[in-house]
Amino acid sequence: MPDISKSNSAPAPSAGPSPTLSGKGALVTGASRGIGRAIALRLASLGAAVAICGRDRSALATSLRDLEKTSSRVYSQTADVTRSEDVAALVANAESALGPISILVNNAGIGIFGPVQQKTEQEWDHVLSTNLKSVFLVSRAVIPGMISRGSGDIVNISSLAGRNAFAGGALYCASKWGLQGLTACMAEDLREFGIRVSSVLPGSVATDFGQRAKDPSKALAPEDVAHAVAMLLTQSPKSLISEVQLRPLRK
């Protein structure tokens, strides 16, 4: 059984202008740490009801506690988004707890690096399933509801590795190049229904995942990626920013 946590009470009143995502439900995958956690916190700060998932139960619980400091309308569930049965349960439970999902951020991802001739079939399957198949499965689960409502936003967290090749990056680059193609085709399939599909392509980010960046001062912070996602979600309702490429300022 998945580990499930939720909080449903009405939000506490706050001073200042109304947050721009009030009344919207969001699902962020891979939100137990790093970029996913930063995105979830940013969406909650903008007034969205936020559901998160991940495979690390302990880390996910920490993310939930952080979210509860910002919003009282949050939900978390351990889930493996490479498995269709986990995805179906996740989406059903999140919508039962928080209402319709109008924002999906596909962030779950892993990296396995090294010369292609040294990689195994199992490593290939693990990277491609996590970074690419999961986006297909979770998007497919939420799209029918978005179509019925005539609106929605899907943001796929890709990488500059989806545009550039580097030694040792065969599996990771293959998954992110594939994600770029999937995102572009999804955008064309869904724009007629009022659904926007975009990708964010960060460079090096200072997270546990991004340890390839030797100098943290020359890496993005997870909050930088969250800012880009918020920008996409708060753009004019008549526009579609297809892609955001995000680099550290310093080389």
Catalytic residues: 172
- Number of alpha carbons in the 13 Å side-chain half-sphere of residue 82: 12
Residue 216 in contact with residue 174, Cβ under 8 Å? no
Alpha-carbon distance of 248 to 251, in angstroms, equals 7
